[in-house]
Structure 1
Amino acid sequence: MEHLTYQRKVTIMAAIIAAMFFASINQTIVGVALPRIIAKLGGMDYYSWIITIYFLTTTIATILVGKLSDIYGRKNFILAGIVIFMTGAFLAGTAGNIFHLIIYRGIQGTGAGIIMATAFTAIGDLFSPRERGRWSGLMSAVFGMSSVLGPGLGGYVVEHLEWHWVFWIFLPLGFIAFFMILFLFPKVERQEAQSIDYAGSLILTLIIISILLAFSWAGSKYPWSSPVILGLFSFAAAALVCFLLVENRAKTPVLPLSIFRESAVTISNIISFIMNAGMMGALMYMPLYVQGVMGISPTYAGYVTMPLSLCMLATSAYAGRYMTNTGRYKKLALIGMVVMVLGMFLMVIMDDIPVAVLSMIIFGLGLGLGMPVFMMAVQNAVDSKDLGVATASVQLFRNLGSTIGISVMGTVLTASITSKMNLMVSKSSSLMNTDLEPETFHGLMKLMDPQLLLDQPKLAEIRDGLSGQALPVFDQLLETLKHALSVSLSNVFLTGTVVLGIAFILTFFLQEIPLRTTVHKESKTKSESNFTYGHRKDISGC
């Protein structure tokens, strides 16, 4: 698509932005609403699975479609992704229990993976890495806008409408995105010489599933040392060996190992993995904290997380302009990682709304600076023929990091809550008033479920139904329960801080290759001759 006029490229970008906004707004609107949806459907133990299954299917779809889109072109895949995502969204709104919701979220994740893989790669087809910096800022702005609108809207919907509308309200936007892609996106013919790596695709899928199941079940459903968990890890290790052998012999490998010879690709993917694993504590568990511990309604919980999106929007736009103007990116990554670590650490020590908002502001500033860098570094380092699979590799490692991070954070949360709850039960006798009947007290103890903290209207209803000595006992037990959840979530945020610290250290090893001013990768000598530090070339016609 390099031959297209600049005006035509901008038109195509409008279609891509519509598709990505549709996918991202549907994700952000669900985040804040999930605690209330869980309160309605039940299944607090499966809270993390709703998120995990989404990233699991997204991860598999992303890496498989990355290579296929290099062969068949991007258009048909992004159209299929929109249809699958819309189907999953519609079905999710009809879920009758937590297990149905998990399945339908998996369908949504498949569609989202296809959309993201093809959309980001299409930008690489259209623009040079140097010019791509500007568009990466715009794409981050799309995510930022959806992050601003989604949480508040999601909270409003679950408070004033049926929760089903969280999944249905933006379906009309999906039709708009579909027809924009259908009519505006050019069709690219299949590369006839290419073959499909079925064996590699199957083995890679099995590796991803086994790893994610192991991390999801370990410490919650099964002990880490159980035969099931050890068996899954062993299977993943054996499958990885088979995958390396198959990929070395495949004519068109689903994940060419040659791209990892570039240190920029390898380091960027490792950092993306670790960074996403750490930051999920901020993005996924902050709504749980402000609603469960602080008692904030879903609507206002969205306002607490909104500063993150606004700050990410501002700094990502700056980062895009900076990379376009200078061709450099490593300094942005280092500064962004430091700021993210600081923001996450504030979440560990927060105890009121102002500190929570401040942590979101700082974390968002760092996220906007650092997040666009690693995708840009990878796309700049590979040949154009591997652009799709290289872009998909970044999405793969990001999604793996997010999924494993959520699973590990969920394990930390579950273990901490279980420990605190057991301690609370063992000390429950000290809370019993001598004037309170044992039967009434034990009835109150049965209500001490962390899931109850997510449904403030139900809590108020229970409290209004109590009187006499039962009321102060209920309030005291409720405060103890909030404290248990608070301490447990602080452990989650502390784990995220440590993980992000590791990602920051690795950023020092990122090789900075000057951003090209051409779509196709050229020889080193020619590329360097086209690059001038501190001076922006006229590349609007690339």
Structure 2
Amino acid sequence: MIAIMAAMLFAALNQTIVGTALPVIVADIGGMDYFSWVFTIYMLTTSITAILVGKLSDTYGRKPFILTGIGIFILGSFLSGTSVNIYQLIIYRGLQGFGGGMIMSTSFTAIGDLFPPRERGRWQGMMSSVFGLASVFGPTLGGYIVDTWQWNWVFWVFLPFGLVAFTMIWKMFPNVKSAGKTSVDYVGAVILALTIVPLLLAFSWAGKTFAWDSMMIIGLFVWSSIALVIFIFAETRAENPIIPLHLFRNSIFTISNVGGLLMGMGMFGAIMYMPFFVQGVLGISATRTGFVMMSMMLSMVVTSTIGGQLITKTGRYKIFALMGLTIMGLGMFSMSRMSIDTTLFGVIRNLVMVGLGLGLTFPVLTLTVQNAVDHKYLGVATSASQFFRQAGGTIGVSIMGSIMNLIMADEMKEMMAKATGGAASKLQNMGALKDPQVLMDPDKIAGVKEKVPADMLPLFNQIIQSMREILSTSLSGAFLFGVFVLGVALILISFLKEIPLRLTNQTEEQSEENVEAKSVSS
């Protein structure tokens, strides 16, 4: 478990450390127009790899894939640090994503190989804590490295840690695989990739790079829908399908994954847009914002660890998911009620509530899926759980961003309409102040303020105050959508069938078959 957690921490830290360092990296190597692709390509390759490796690891065992994943991730990290232009960085980050997908998928699945469902709760909680700690320290460490050393060390600093994780898993980790040889569903894998890629691209670009009703976005959704129909047709005829469709007839599997998708929408929405409020509305620096966001992830670490222990001790899990979603929803609702008068203490309190709820829910939805399927489907079930959660994050961030931008545009039009006489023309001339998101760039605001004549400073300050109010209102709309999503998840999980956590890695049917086999043998 130490070996698995070391591998998980290595991948998670490398993922979270890049965020704060990327502006400095792009400023050095150029390519601001392709800035978002550094994240997008990693998300795409991670998602595709995780869902495909799940099934393959059920056939060939977890060990080859987690070792291959660490090796590819180390190579991608090293090459990313050697990038001389944005195109190389994008390619190498995509390579990192292939390795990261293998590590993330097999790490959570490996717990199922080592422990029966009743024992997995505490370890799922510990794994969630590892990811939470990486989310806490990664961004801060990334900022420190680019401020102190060359940005290349963002990618290189943890390479020795990766080599240690590789050695530990190679020496200690058992390889559990299915008996006998089975065919690989290569056709299904290709079609699945052609389904996932356009879907995630559509949600990544919609409302930002392209309008929701643009031909590009509509075309991607149509492409993904057609590919999905072909995939379902192909899987029903495959000898060894990459995703056995009969799993979706299991209500626990389906409800848990849809619930995970909805939870991901709320979770990533809070992580992505709360810094907008802290920096843009409250005017707190980016460095201090990182420390404020720590409160959410640290509270998640606490409850995921405690919740996992309680699940193992009591054998109950549904109550923790319901409690977690309720607390998380209340925290998100409190976020939607924030205004320019909200104190920093109020912000931290809301983040702690979301983190506490997230920590209780996060381990449960993976555990329920693993407990509900045969051990031979452990890899594909766990990978599906990871994929739905990550896809939910992509979808949620996109929709909440669109809501924020729509409200912001309407509020700006209303503000401009209320401006009269000379004030209206002066507002129009302040081009840098037409978008409230400029509040995220204090240096730009300071530059504009220096050029403002003394007699216009009261008007300038009034505009800044109005823009803070507009940004706060638009974020409230986005967080309110998060409340709705978590409410739907809460209702859905209330229908989740709670079955006893097994004390072995065999289902009841398998245990009965073994007893009958022993009886016949005797």
Under a length normalisation based on structure 2, what TM-score does the superposition of the two structures give? 0.87
Counterpart amino acid of residue 255 in structure 1: I
Counterpart amino acid of residue 473 in structure 2: V
SS of residue in 1 equivalent to 2:508: coil
Q: 1:128 aligns with which of 94, 108, 116?
A: 116
1:399-430 deviation digits (Å, cap 9, x = unpaired): 21111122222322333344444555666666
1:327-351 deviation digits (Å, cap 9, x = unpaired): 1111111111100100111111223
Counterpart amino acid of residue 501 in structure 2: L
- Structure 1: runs of 5+ lacking an equivalent: 1-12, 530-542
Q: 1:321 aligns with which of 309, 315, 325?
A: 309
Counterparts of 1:283 and 1:262, CA distance in 2? 32
Q: Relative to structure 1, is the Cα distance of residues 380 and 27 closer, same or farther in structure 2, using a 3 angstrom cutoff? A: same
Aligned sequence identity (%): 52
Check the 8 A contact 2:53/2:102 in 1, yes or no.
Answer: yes
Q: May I ask how many residue pairs the two structures share in their alignment?
A: 511
Q: Relative to structure 1, is the Cα distance of residues 170 and 491 closer, same or farther in structure 2, using a 3 angstrom cutoff? A: farther
| Superposition pairs of residues 392-541 of structure 1, within 5 angstroms | 392-423=383-414, 432=423, 444-446=430-432, 448-450=434-436, 452-460=438-446, 463=449, 468-469=454-455, 471-523=457-509
Q: Relative to structure 1, is the Cα distance of residues 525 and 81 closer, same or farther in structure 2, using a 3 angstrom cutoff? A: closer
Counterparts of 1:318 and 1:192, CA distance in 2? 40
2:123 is aligned with 1:140: no
Equivalent residue, structure 2, for 1:4: none
SS of residue in 2 equivalent to 1:272: helix
| Superposition pairs of residues 142-541 of structure 1, within 5 angstroms | 142-157=130-145, 165-187=153-175, 192-350=180-338, 351-423=342-414, 432=423, 444-446=430-432, 448-450=434-436, 452-460=438-446, 463=449, 468-469=454-455, 471-523=457-509
CA RMSD across the alignment:
3.3
Q: Relative to structure 1, is the Cα distance of residues 342 and 53 closer, same or farther in structure 2, using a 3 angstrom cutoff? A: farther
Check the 8 A contact 1:289/1:489 in 2, yes or no.
Answer: yes
Counterpart amino acid of residue 405 in structure 1: G
Counterparts of 1:420 and 1:176, CA distance in 2? 53
Check the 8 A contact 2:432/2:438 in 1, yes or no.
Answer: no
Counterpart amino acid of residue 358 in structure 1: R
Q: Relative to structure 1, is the Cα distance of residues 122 and 205 closer, same or farther in structure 2, using a 3 angstrom cutoff? A: same
| Superposition pairs of residues 60-99 of structure 1, within 5 angstroms | 60-92=48-80
Check the 8 A contact 1:312/1:368 in 2, yes or no.
Answer: yes
SS of residue in 2 equivalent to 1:249: coil
Check the 8 A contact 1:332/1:369 in 2, yes or no.
Answer: yes
Q: CA deviation at 1:505?
A: 0.6
Under a length normalisation based on structure 1, what TM-score does the superposition of the two structures give? 0.84
Q: CA deviation at 1:101?
A: 5.6
Q: CA deviation at 1:230?
A: 3.0
Counterpart amino acid of residue 358 in structure 2: L
Q: CA deviation at 1:42?
A: 8.9
1:280-323 deviation digits (Å, cap 9, x = unpaired): 11112222332233222222112111121221122112211111
Q: CA deviation at 1:187?
A: 4.5
Q: CA deviation at 1:211?
A: 1.6
1:249-283 deviation digits (Å, cap 9, x = unpaired): 11111001122222111111111111111221111
Q: Relative to structure 1, is the Cα distance of residues 280 and 98 closer, same or farther in structure 2, using a 3 angstrom cutoff? A: farther
1:95-116 deviation digits (Å, cap 9, x = unpaired): 6777766555444333221111
- Structure 2: runs of 5+ lacking an equivalent: 516-522
SS of residue in 1 equivalent to 2:236: helix
Check the 8 A contact 1:155/1:298 in 2, yes or no.
Answer: no
Q: Relative to structure 1, is the Cα distance of residues 197 and 19 closer, same or farther in structure 2, using a 3 angstrom cutoff? A: same
Q: Relative to structure 1, is the Cα distance of residues 99 and 290 closer, same or farther in structure 2, using a 3 angstrom cutoff? A: farther
